[in-house]
Amino acid sequence: METANTVEASKITLSELMLPSHSNFSGKIHGGYLLKLMDQIAFACASKYSGCYCVTASVDTVDFLNPVDVGELVTLKASVNYVGKTSMIVGIRVTSEDIRTGIIKHCNSSYFTMVAKDEQGNNANVPRLILSNMNEVRRFYDGVNRINNKKRHKELENNFDYKSEEALKNLENFNVVLSEKIQ
């Protein structure tokens, strides 16, 4: 029997107070610490949705929009936006709140591709995704576009000849100098 789950059934929220032990030398929270929290919520979201152990296959575009300060409350919200046969794209939004003033900042948004695994470690099929509103439809198609763009980018990478005369000449447009060994 084929199963299906709603986007709502995948939603997870995680909040954590940022401590001095999470900070760098300038008193801002390490980006790596935030990435760790994002990976944890992506795992929880994908596993809750699929009913399987899940692993991170890729992380797409993490732009740090605003710094997070020690003492702020960071909240991560995640949901499954797209499902394939064995994979899911989990959308994550990170905000921070100054608990004294109540001011909330959008810190970053990211997309994690997660793959479901069975007990033997093989890829496992995931339930179909029930889309309940137009925002969920938009997010699903964003996932389709994200996958298609990755495929196109990989194809361009595979076909690019970095040794060609044209490619080497084009390096003049960048902040590089070719060693005499290359010329």
Choose among 55, 62, 68: nearest CA to 18: 68
Instruction: Residue 30: count other Cβ atoms within 10 Å of its Cβ.
Output: 14
**pLDDT at position 163, please?**
87
List of residues 6+ apart from 1 with CB closer than 8 A: none
167: buried, middle or exposed (CB in 10 Å: 19+, 13-18, 0-12)? exposed
Q: Are 19 and 70 in contact (CB under 8 A)?
A: yes
Q: Are 15 and 42 in contact (CB under 8 A)?
A: no
Dist CA 89 CA 115 (whole Å): 9
pTM: predicted TM-score of the whole model, two decimal places? 0.89
pLDDT (tens digit, 9 = 90+) per residue, 66-96?
Answer: 999 999 999 999 999 999 999 999 999 999 9
Dist CA 143 CA 47 (whole Å): 18
List of residues 6+ apart from 76 with CB closer than 8 A: 13, 14, 15, 37, 38, 41, 92, 93, 94
- The DSSP code for 127 is P
**pLDDT at position 10, please?**
96
**pLDDT at position 29, please?**
96
**pLDDT at position 183, please?**
65
40 sits in the region (left: phi over 0; alpha: psi -120 to 50; else beta) called alpha
Q: Report domain extents, the chain.
A: 4-132
What Å distances lie between residue 67 and 35, 117, 180, CA to CA? 13, 35, 42
| CATH classification (class only), 4-132 | alpha beta
Segments of the chain scoring below 50 in pLDDT: 1
144 sits in the region (left: phi over 0; alpha: psi -120 to 50; else beta) called alpha
Dist CA 183 CA 165 (whole Å): 10
